[in-house]
């Protein structure tokens, strides 16, 4: 197996990681990525196989669990109750509860509100150059997830602040300051939710938090800590990636001069899948091996970690012809941007709904939309999102 060296914070890589992925994939499905100290999967087949292989999972094997440094305790406490980092039977129980509350009806009921929100935000666009990331792409997902969970919309700025500080823990270049900020955000977020859940117990509404509280009150199904961990996961996961999926999509559509016809009702779904394939907002997730397993000529030992490069799998030429070309008319629609297997993204239908409303409305209302400056990605790998999206309309 090839060994590769690539700093995830190198500016050229941050701006365009795809040439590195192409070089790695050409050398075989797996390569040892020195900076991460683990084997990484670059081909579509290897990523899909590992996502679906139950001998691998996200939960840390018990013999590798450590207490962690005390300054991180509040952040670790939230993580410890996250369904994202659990495996069956805990994962099955938590995911079933979330799915019970996260019905397709609850999602589709959000559509008229998302549509109205997009129009309000567009009505408020300033004249001249402005940052579409702040004015639009960030607002739609954060307000939508507040509505779905039943969190007051005026909390959106706090949620954005807490969430950015917490997810920075997964980004390359983490420092002690990142850790202190994440711990502080976790403390504030947990305190807010504890108080809010107490209030909502006596004043139930028709929202996801109320349904999760009902599950908690049924007894053994959901502990209070799990309820808080689940709400934080949904609030964070519910907007961080969608913000950048929308923004990367706007950038791609503008840079490629894609025809507005690609956003028509009968073509928009394909266009969204191509946006998700071409430039997804999350590029890498990891798994632990739970037993000794040989795959793709490599022997994984129990406890080994393997990185799954979703962004690389999406550009595999054995699945998509001319994968570096943005082509919303492609026949192959599947991609790995929402993961696969047991942890497949719970929010994929919501993220797709937000994109299918936010993008056509933006381009219909702002037919002269153009980039005011070439956008650049923020130094936040494995996230792949823009720092700013300066536009004029
Ligand atoms: C374009 C936007 C989004 C992208 C690209 C995305 C991507 C992903 C990916 C790749 C995973 C699986 C991670 C793994 O296998 O290790 C995942 C899991 C998850 N996502 Fe999303 N997501 C998006 C939007 C959302 C939204 C809107 C929500 C919630 C409202 C959400 C909630 C979750 C949850 C709860 C999980 C954990 C599922 C589990 O562990 O069973 N995501 N997401």
What is the domain count for the chain? 1
Q: What's the CA-to-centroid distance between 202 and ligand 1, angstroms?
A: 31
| pLDDT of residue 88 exceeding 80 | yes
Q: What's the CA-to-centroid distance between 338 and ligand 1, angstroms?
A: 6
Q: What's the CA-to-centroid distance between 100 and ligand 1, angstroms?
A: 16
CA nearest ligand 1 atom 27, residue: 238
3 touches 34 (CB < 8 A): yes
What distance lies between CA 143 and its chain's CA centroid? 16
> 144: part of which helix (H) or strand (E)?
helix 139-149
Q: Which one, of 41, 1, 46, 54, lies nearest residue 308 by Cα? A: 41
CA nearest ligand 1 atom 41, residue: 343
Place of tokens 């550009």: 315
Q: What's the CA-to-centroid distance between 277 and ligand 1, angstroms?
A: 15
Q: Between 156-167 and 139-149, two packed helices, what is the crossing angle to 10 degrees?
A: 100
Range of the domain at 141: 2-392
- Across the range 354-369, mean pLDDT stands at 97
DSSP assignment of 106-119: HHHTTHHHHHHHHH
Give the CATH number for residue 99. Answer: 1.10.630.10
Over the stretch 104-144, which tens digit does the pLDDT of each residue have?
888 999 999 999 999 999 999 999 999 999 999 999 999 99
Q: What's the CA-to-centroid distance between 339 and ligand 1, angstroms?
A: 8
| pLDDT of residue 262 exceeding 90 | yes
| pLDDT of residue 220 exceeding 70 | no
User: In this predicted model, which residue has the larger pLDDT, 390 or 67?
Assistant: 390
Q: Which one, of 48, 53, 31, 52, lies nearest residue 40 by Cα? A: 31
Measured from the Cα of 148, ligand 1's closest atom is 30
Percent of the chain exceeding pLDDT 70 equals 99
Q: What's the CA-to-centroid distance between 84 and ligand 1, angstroms?
A: 8
The reply to whether ligand 1 has any atom less than 6 angstroms from the CB of 90 is no
- Across the range 212-236, mean pLDDT stands at 83
Measured from the Cα of 355, ligand 1's closest atom is 1
Q: What's the CA-to-centroid distance between 91 and ligand 1, angstroms?
A: 14
Specify the range with the lowest mean pLDDT, choosing from 23-27, 37-41, 162-166, 359-363. Answer: 162-166
- Residues with Cβ within 8 Å of 345's Cβ and at least 6 positions away in sequence, in order, are 237, 338, 339, 351
d(CA 33, CA 160): 32
320 touches 335 (CB < 8 A): no
d(CA 303, CA 310): 21
List the strands of the sheet with 30-33, edge to edge: 2-4, 30-33, 38-41, 305-309, 284-289, 56-57
| pLDDT of residue 19 exceeding 80 | yes
Q: Give the global pTM.
A: 0.95
Place of tokens 């950015």: 164
CA distances from 251 to 59, 237, 286, 328, 355 (A): 35, 22, 28, 14, 13
Q: Ligand 1 pocket check: which of 163, 287, 346, 349 to mutate, most ligand atoms within 8 Å of Cβ? A: 346
Q: Over the chain, what is the mean pLDDT?
A: 93
Geometric angle at alpha carbon 317, from 315 and 321, rounded to 5°: 100
| pLDDT of residue 167 exceeding 90 | no
Sign of CA dihedral 367, 372, 378, 382: positive
CA nearest ligand 1 atom 39, residue: 343
Measured from the Cα of 98, ligand 1's closest atom is 35
Q: What's the CA-to-centroid distance between 347 and ligand 1, angstroms?
A: 6
Q: Ligand 1 pocket check: which of 100, 345, 384 to mutate, most ligand atoms within 8 Å of Cβ? A: 345
| pLDDT of residue 219 exceeding 70 | no
| pLDDT of residue 252 exceeding 80 | yes
The reply to whether ligand 1 has any atom less than 6 angstroms from the CB of 307 is no
Task: Write down how long the chain is.
Answer: 393
- Across the range 7-13, mean pLDDT stands at 96
CA distances from 64 to 169, 290, 304, 317, 319 (A): 19, 11, 10, 37, 36
Tokens representing 1 are 């197996």
């Amino acid at each position: 197996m090839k060994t590769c060296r690539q700093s995830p914070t190198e500016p050229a890589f941050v701006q365009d990681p795809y040439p590195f992925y192409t070089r790695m994939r050409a050398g075989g499905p797996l390569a040892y990525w020195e900076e991460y100290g683990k084997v990484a999967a670059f081909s579509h087949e290897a990523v899909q196989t590992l996502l679906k292989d139950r001998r691998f999972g996200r939960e840390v094997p018990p013999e590798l669990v450590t207490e962690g440094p005390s300054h991180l305790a509040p952040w670790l406490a939230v993580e410890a109750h996250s369904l994202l980092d659990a495996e069956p039977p805990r994962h099955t129980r938590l995911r079933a509860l979330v799915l019970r509350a996260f019905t397709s009806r609850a999602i589709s009921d959000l559509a008229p509100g998302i549509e109205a929100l997009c129009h309000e935000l567009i009505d408020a666009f300033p004249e001249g150059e402005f940052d579409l990331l702040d004015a639009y792409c960030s607002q739609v997902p954060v307000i939508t997830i507040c509505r779905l969970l039943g969190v007051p919309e005026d909390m959106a700025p706090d949620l954005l602040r807490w969430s950015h500080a917490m997810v920075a823990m997964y980004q390359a270049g983490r420092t002690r300051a990142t850790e202190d900020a994440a711990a502080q955000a976790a403390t504030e977020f947990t305190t807010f939710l504890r108080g809010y859940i107490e209030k909502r117990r006596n004043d139930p509404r028709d929202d996801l938090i109320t349904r999760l509280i009902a599950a908690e009150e049924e007894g053994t199904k959901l502990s209070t800590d799990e309820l808080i961990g689940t709400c934080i996961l949904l609030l964070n996961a519910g907007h961080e990636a969608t913000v950048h999926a929308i923004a990367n999509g706007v950038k791609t559509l503008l840079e490629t001069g894609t025809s507005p016809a690609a956003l028509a009702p009968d073509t928009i779904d394909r266009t969204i899948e191509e946006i998700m394939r071409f430039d997804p907002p999350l590029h890498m997730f990891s798994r632990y091996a739970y037993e000794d397993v040989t795959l793709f000529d490599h022997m994984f030992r129990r406890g080994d970690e393997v990185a799954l490069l979703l962004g690389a799998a999406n550009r595999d030429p054995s699945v998509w012809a001319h994968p570096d070309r943005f082509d919303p008319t492609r026949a192959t629609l599947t991609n790995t941007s929402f993961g696969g297997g047991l942890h497949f993204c719970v929010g994929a239908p919501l993220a797709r709904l937000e994109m299918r409303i936010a993008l056509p409305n933006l381009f219909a209302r702002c037919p002269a939309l153009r980039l005011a400056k070439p956008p650049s990605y923020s130094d936040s790998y494995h996230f792949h999102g823009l720092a700013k999206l300066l536009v004029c309309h």
